[in-house]
Amino acid sequence: MGSQHNVLVLSFPNADDLGRSISQLLGLKHRVIQYKIFPDGESYVRLPEEVSGKHVILIQRTYPEPDKRIVEAVLATDALVSHKASLITLILPYLTYARQDKEFLKGEAVSVRAVLKLLSSMGVDNLVVIDVHKPESLKHFKGRYLNVIPVNTWVKCLSKINLVNPAVIAPDIGAAGRAEALSKALGCDYFIIRKARDRVTGEIKHELPERLSMNGRDVVVVDDIISTGGTIANIAKYLRSASAGRIYAVASHGLFVKDSLEKLRSSGLSKVFVLNTVLAREAEDLVEYCDVSKELADAIKESLLGDS
Ligand code: R5P
């Protein structure tokens, strides 16, 4: 590993907890970005110390208020480039805009491409994300990138419960890789359920296999994002009818928009585990947050700190 004196962790106030824990785990100095909102709503960002010649690891949570958070990351990157940081690593634990990854309907913006092109062109050298919606989207980022699949953290969350003869479920084909990785770590099998979403109304349709019986097995549904909760709630209801035992959901990013919690509660889930990649909601019984700092720090140490 290169000199740790030359590496500085800077976090936005909304990622202060992650900045502190990651810097402690890596033995690095941590400072919080100076930040305020002008009366007209614009964000103001100032570097808290000299960064010239330093590898700066900048951490920002991009949810809620994704647009504002991305702009703030851009402002901080501008300051880092102009103050001659030698290397800029941006950690966006949840890469917002990642679901609009192609032109589903003619004329649509490919949002993830736009965001990644913007960050590259501003001067971000390395981008670190957790469980991006589709890993292939990251090709639009021109520097080096790291997509951390947080299997160890999922397993740690699930170790709090004593799973009985578990099975893992991917709620769509896109989640197959996650389900495979988690089932391997848990030493069990996994099933994939196919899903289609109406691109105009957003309505979800699952092709549920008629004869799947879970025979009282505990089931873990794994996904990258829980947004409206429709995907997980739909699957959970189906799994109950397929004689599952307890039903759990584990996801990397819990956005919990609108009435998602009501939906999830009434679907028969025993618990929903999500990671601290976005700002946590108020505490409540169904949802439990798991800290991804260790897995993030390990990945950064292994892949990005050698050349600092
Ligand atoms: C979609 O392909 C994603 O992997 C998630 O399944 C989806 O974003 C979940 O959204 P919602 O909670 O609104 O169903």
Catalytic residues: 195
Name the residue type at position 197.
Answer: R
Does position 2 have pLDDT exceeding 60, yes or no?
Answer: no
* Residue 28: predicted pLDDT: 98
Atom of ligand 1 nearest to the CA of 204: 14
Q: What is the pLDDT of residues 184-227, one digit of tens each?
A: 999 999 999 887 778 788 777 776 666 667 889 999 999 999 99
Please give all residues whose beta carbon lies within 6 A of any atom in ligand 1, as ranges.
99, 171-172, 174-175, 204, 223-231
| Measured CA distances, 198 to 16, 205, 238, 255 (Å) | 38, 8, 20, 20
Q: What is the pLDDT of residues 39-87, one digit of tens each?
A: 999 999 999 999 999 999 999 999 999 999 999 999 999 999 999 999 9
Q: What is the pLDDT of residues 116-163, one digit of tens each?
A: 999 999 999 999 999 999 999 999 999 999 999 999 999 999 999 999
The DSSP secondary structure of 227-241, one letter per residue, reads SSSHHHHHHHHHHHH
Give the chain's mean pLDDT: 94
At residue 1 the predicted structure's pLDDT band, cuts being 50, 70 and 90, is very low
pTM above 0.85, yes or no: yes
Substitution site in 97, 226, 234, 250 for ligand 1 pocket (most atoms within 8 Å of beta carbon)? 226
Distance, CA 6 to ligand 1 centroid (Å)? 40
The stretch 246-273 carries a mean pLDDT of 96
Distance, CA 129 to ligand 1 centroid (Å)? 18
Q: How many whole angstroms separate alpha carbon 85 and alpha carbon 80?
A: 5
Q: How many whole angstroms separate alpha carbon 160 and alpha carbon 166?
A: 14
- 150 SS3 class: coil
Atom of ligand 1 nearest to the CA of 255: 12
- Ligand 1 atom 9 nearest Cα: 226
* Residue 199: predicted pLDDT: 77
- Ligand 1 atom 3 nearest Cα: 225
